[in-house]
């Protein structure tokens, strides 16, 4: 049996080049995976801040016998009853944008804005349509 040392040397150098290519490839994959995970975790945190559960939110500080209520449904529809003295019930669709819950009535006649914070809604009177004076829903009212 004869051994050709020149051929063995070529095999070793080829092996070293292949190992180097694999190392560079795996390092590239690791960098891409890290960027993906970091980007996903930042987006997940942003989405958590803007998520709101469907259900009924009642104004906590109200002294009225029938408290103002915001009801959110799965189909992005809502009802907003702000006073028992009013025959009007705001009905329409809602969206979450930039940490706010935005209620828009059918035909975009009225709009009500709430800040989402800790599974509660905080009424923003400045960005909302005017509520009648007999309905006591002040700016900053908390609905839970």
Percent of the chain whose predicted confidence (pLDDT) is above 70: 81
C-alpha closest to that of 128 among 111, 140, 141, 106: 111
Residue 97 sits at the vertex; the CA angle it makes with 96 and 101, to the nearest 5 degrees, is: 45
One domain, residues 86 and 32: no
Domain count across the chain: 2
The pLDDT of residue 67 is 94
Distance between CA atoms of residues 79 and 87, nearest Å: 13
Instruction: Please compute the mean of the pLDDT values over residues 61-81 and round it to a whole number.
Output: 93
C-alpha closest to that of 54 among 22, 76, 34: 76
One domain, residues 59 and 9: no
Q: Is 86's pLDDT higher than 60?
A: yes
Burial of 96 (0-12, 13-18, 19+ CB in 10 A): middle
Range of the domain at 122: 55-143
One domain, residues 62 and 96: yes
One domain, residues 20 and 45: yes
Indicate the average pLDDT of the chain.
84
One domain, residues 95 and 65: yes
One domain, residues 38 and 107: no
Percent of the chain whose predicted confidence (pLDDT) is above 90: 51
pLDDT tens digits along 92-120: 999 999 999 999 999 889 999 999 999 99
The pLDDT of residue 48 is 47
One domain, residues 43 and 64: no
Q: Is 10's pLDDT higher than 80?
A: no
- The CATH number of whichever domain residue 99 belongs to comes to 2.40.128
- Whether this model's pTM surpasses 0.85: no
Neighbours of 47 (CB within 10 A): 10
Distance between CA atoms of residues 20 and 35, nearest Å: 23
pLDDT tens digits along 29-61: 777 888 777 776 655 545 445 678 999 999 999
């Amino acid at each position: 049996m004869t051994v050709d040392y020149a051929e063995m040397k070529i095999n070793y150098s080829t092996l070293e080049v292949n190992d180097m290519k694999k190392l560079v490839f795996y390092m590239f994959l690791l960098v891409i995976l890290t960027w993906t995970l970091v980007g996903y975790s930042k987006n997940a945190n942003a989405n958590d801040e803007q998520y709101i559960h469907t259900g009924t939110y009642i104004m906590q500080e109200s002294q009225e016998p029938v408290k103002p209520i915001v009801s959110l449904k799965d189909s992005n529809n809502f009802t907003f009853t702000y006073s028992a003295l009013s025959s009007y019930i705001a009905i329409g669709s809602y969206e979450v944008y930039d940490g706010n819950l935005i209620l828009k009535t059918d035909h975009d006649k009225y709009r009500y804005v709430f800040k989402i914070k800790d599974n509660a809604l905080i009424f923003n009177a400045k960005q909302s349509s005017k509520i009648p004076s007999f309905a006591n829903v002040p700016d900053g009212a908390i609905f839970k």
